[in-house]
């Protein structure tokens, strides 16, 4: 008996003193057998529970559930595709930008039935707040280039175009009263300034070629489809209203199936 009791599985040590002491040795063998048989399975289940609570969560008013999941500070295993990782700060939930060190998207709401969500491109607000800044190039990205391949900007949105123009190009474009162009606060002395136009319909080619302005770098930012006829001076409000995105489920991620196999 001494050799067996010197290496019993943990579980057996815990339950054996009460249950086994008055019983026969065959009972103990049976318990050893049961413990050895169940221990690996119990460890797997325990590890799975330690790994992550992947149930639906709320962040502010937004429900976060599969395929979306909430990031936590601990180095836990992800609950799903990294493309659907949501960070929650206070009541603000956001999706990351696919461009490193770039602000992502604030989520306004998610429709799980329609596979869609409304979001705000946070990077644009930061750029537009930095008025009178002559610091070297801001990250001035098209919203579409910040989205990973599973997200798509819905064609029902309209667009706003921000132009970073040289002083002469801006003066020229404004003099021509070019299709509702308006100044933003952003400028750098007489080196460059940022203009904006709104009400630009979705271009399936993604080129927006007819809206190009010579001497200006342009970026396209989706705004609500309901913004038709909006005043370009209200560009910040329009960006804050968010735009509609749709998503596709990630194909490869199989956590759910592996979990249910373990529990079965
Ligand atoms: C949550 O929804 C309520 C009711 O619609 C609203 O009053 C509140 O401002 C929302 N909170 C956030 C953080 O969006
Ligand atoms: C969370 O939000 C607060 C206040 O808006 C901000 O100061 C802080 O930097 C944010 N934290 C992270 C990790 O983004
Ligand atoms: C989601 O947010 C958008 C933009 O704020 C709003 O127009 C829409 O009504 C909201 N949808 C739901 C279901 O709350
Ligand atoms: C930008 O300018 C506006 C109005 O001119 C001012 O209220 C705001 O504080 C300025 N923002 C920064 C970051 O300097
Ligand atoms: C606009 O273009 C100039 C010249 O290329 C650049 O120095 C500046 O940082 C740009 N501004 C923004 C907001 O991208
Ligand atoms: C943004 O998209 C437009 C239209 O496709 C393109 O012409 C422009 O070069 C892009 N700008 C940047 C900074 O990628
Ligand atoms: C747009 O708004 C600005 C500032 O609020 C105002 O001065 C301008 O007249 C408006 N333009 C139109 C076409 O309503």
Domain contains 191 = yes
Q: Is residue 218 part of a domain?
A: yes
CB 184 near ligand 5, within 6 Å = no
Q: Determine the residue of 61, 94, 242 to mutate for testing ligand 1's pocket, defined as the one with the most ligand atoms within 8 A of the Cβ atom.
A: 61
Sequential pLDDT tens for the chain (264 residues)? 443 344 444 444 344 444 434 445 554 555 455 555 555 555 444 455 455 688 999 999 999 999 999 988 777 788 999 999 999 999 999 999 999 988 899 999 999 999 999 999 998 887 777 666 677 656 689 999 999 999 999 999 999 999 999 999 999 999 887 668 998 888 888 888 999 999 999 999 999 999 999 999 999 999 999 998 899 999 999 999 999 999 999 876 555 444 433 333
Quick check: is 75 in a domain? no
Q: Is residue 60 part of a domain?
A: no
- Among 196, 199, 233, the mutation site with the greatest number of ligand 7 atoms within 8 A of its Cβ is 233
Given CA atoms 23, 24, 29, 33 in this order, what sign does their dihedral have? negative
Rounded distance between C-alpha atoms, residue 219 and residue 3, angstroms: 75
Output the pLDDT for position 59. Answer: 95
In short, whether 91's Cβ falls inside 6 Å of ligand 1 is yes
CA of 135 from ligand 4 middle (Å) equals 15
- Residue 239's domain comprises 124-244
Whether 222 and 194 have beta carbons less than 8 Å apart is answered as no
What is the CA(46)–ligand 6 centre distance, in A? 50
d(CA 218, CA 211): 9
Give domain status of residue 194, yes or no. Answer: yes
Each residue of 69-84: b (16+ CB within 10 Å) or e? Answer: bbeeeeeeebbbbebb
| Number of domains comprising the chain | 2
Distance 242 CA to ligand 6 centre (A): 20
> Ligand 4 pocket: which of 127, 185, 187, 236 to mutate (most atoms <8 Å of CB)?
185
Instruction: Judge whether 193 lies within some domain.
Output: yes
The reported pTM is 0.77
Q: Is residue 258 part of a domain?
A: no
Are residue 38 and residue 130 in the same domain, yes or no? no
Nearest ligand 6 atom to the CA of 207 is 5
**C-beta of residue 230 within 8 angstroms of C-beta of residue 198:** yes
Is any ligand 2 atom within 6 A of the Cβ of residue 50?
A: no
Q: Are residues 145 and 228 in the same domain?
A: yes
Is 24 contained in some domain? yes
Residue 57 C-beta-side C-alpha neighbours within 13 Å: 19
pLDDT at 13: 39
Same domain, 129 and 240: yes
Whether residues 44 and 134 fall in one domain: no
Say how many Å lie between the CA of residue 129 and the centre of ligand 4.
7
């Amino acid at each position: 008996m001494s050799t067996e009791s010197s290496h019993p599985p943990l579980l057996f040590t815990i339950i054996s003193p009460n249950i086994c002491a008055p019983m026969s040795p065959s009972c103990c063998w049976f318990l050893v057998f049961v413990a050895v048989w169940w221990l690996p399975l119990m460890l797997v289940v325990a590890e799975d529970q330690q790994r992550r609570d992947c149930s639906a969560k709320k962040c502010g008013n937004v429900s976060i559930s599969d395929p979306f999941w909430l990031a936590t500070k601990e180095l836990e295993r992800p609950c799903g595709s990294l493309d659907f990782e949501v960070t929650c700060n206070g009541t603000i939930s956001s999706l990351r930008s696919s461009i490193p060190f770039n602000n992502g998207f604030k989520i306004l709401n998610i429709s799980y039935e329609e596979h869609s969500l409304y979001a705000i491109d946070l990077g644009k607000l930061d750029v537009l707040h930095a008025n009178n800044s002559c610091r070297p190039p801001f990250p001035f990205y098209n919203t579409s280039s910040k989205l990973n391949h599973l997200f798509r900007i819905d064609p029902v949105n309209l667009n706003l175009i921000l132009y970073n123009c040289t002083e002469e190009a801006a003066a020229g474009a404004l003099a021509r009263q070019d299709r509702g162009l308006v100044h933003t606060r952003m400028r750098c002395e007489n080196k460059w300034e940022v203009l904006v136009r709104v009400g630009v319909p979705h271009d399936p080619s993604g080129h927006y070629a007819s809206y190009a302005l010579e001497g200006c770098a342009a970026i396209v930012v989706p705004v609500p489809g309901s913004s038709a006829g909006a005043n370009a001076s209200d560009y910040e409000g329009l960006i804050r209203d968010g735009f509609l995105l749709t998503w596709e489920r990630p194909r490869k991620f199989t956590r759910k199936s592996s979990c249910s196999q373990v529990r079965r």
